[in-house]
Amino acid sequence: MDKLVIEGGRRLEGVVEIGGAKNASLPILAATVLSRDASVIRNVPQVADVFTLVRILKFLGAKVRHEKDRVEVDPRGISEPVLPYKLVSTMRGSICFLGPLLARFGRARVSFPGGCIIGPRPIDLHIKGIRALGADVTLDHGYVVAEAERLRGGRVYLGGAFGSTVLGTANVMMAATLAKGKTLIENAACEPEVVDLGNFLKKMGARIEGLGSPSIRVEGVKRLGGAHHSVIPDRIEAGTYMIASTMTSGDVTVKNMRLDLLSAMVDKLGEAGALMTEKNGSVRVRRRRGPLKPVSVTTLPYPGFPTDLQAQMMAFMCVVPGISVITEKIYPERFIHISELNRMGAGIILEGPSAIVSGRKKLSGAPVMASDLRASAALVLAGLVAEGRTEVSRVYHLDRGYENLVGKLRNLGARIKREKE
């Protein structure tokens, strides 16, 4: 097992290029099984979750050519739509195979997924949506078993206790593309990753309207073809580097970035003291003169502040003078990183779904342990500004969603390396 070793106190400067969105790539790659023709997906990030999904496609019988950021999938060899636990235990995104496998083969047997430990993330809305399309769904020894001779269109409401479901929307939308008749998905997720998936499906021949709105309409077709598609930039990776630049009083140009995908974070980072200028698909991020200002942040479904940037924003708040508050409305238990940040000298108190952060003049390097993907990034950011040496253990979490994080940070001037524990 590896760890990251960081010597803090270096100002980040330079250019960092953002890769494709992990959270768009996974359902798009899963959607390739809806067709019997080959598809080519470009701008796919080289991260562990993508490697896992490629292994799943190969296990199913697809022929896959994966070269750097290009993945070609020929799904004609798939015959048995079964995903065992050993394949899906490390990645929640594997549940997005349920809809396309069921739609194409009339049956699917998918193990309950794994992934980061950030609190309960039930798949009840996935099952509700699939049933609304006429599938018979049962739970059998840890597997979701779904059957339908042919799905039929229907009205699907995907509202949950904490808002809409991104992967649930993706699953139902993919299933509905081959269903008989029209499907209306209400309270659909509006995230850019869902829109990107929908655009890929439309290239395959799907009939979809309303992408980016809470009401998505799908008219089923008999057959989908292969398609070529380039994945949108990863807004969470971009946001992480934007926060890092501001924390270190740096001057970083984030290349291949769209500010419109991160309007809520841009607003809060600017309120705290960041200066961001956009030009030709890049964003230059600096810090305004004077002290940073505390802010209050609430995570919400898109276009609200992303829950996947909550931990990184909290690390930033730790070095902002005054009292900042961050409230988690998507995953109320997503606060495991608080104890590790406090180990580095942060002043964070948890009150229900809100974390109250008392900004410190400095953090102190310390050995810390990552608990999930985004918490890992937060600990790295804290290490960049801490005095002395920080060691972040369990960095396999980072490998799931950040492509070449160490190399990119080193190119910006950070003192960071990867070592064996």
In the set 96, 116, 190, 318, the catalytic residue is 116
Sheet holding 107-111, edge to edge: 82-83, 107-111, 143-147, 136-140
Amino acid, res. 314: M
Type of residue numbered 33: V
Q: Which has the closest alpha carbon to 382: 394, 401, 400, 369?
A: 369
Work out the number of other CB atoms within 10 angstroms of the CB of residue 395: 22
Residue recorded with tokens 């047997």: 109
Contact 28, 200 (CB under 8 A): yes
Integer Cα distance of 39 and 25 in angstroms: 13
Asked whether 3 and 421 are in contact (CB, 8 A), the reply is yes
223 contacts: CB under 8 Å, gap ≥ 6: 35, 36, 178, 205
Active site annotation includes 116: yes
- The residues assigned a catalytic role are 116
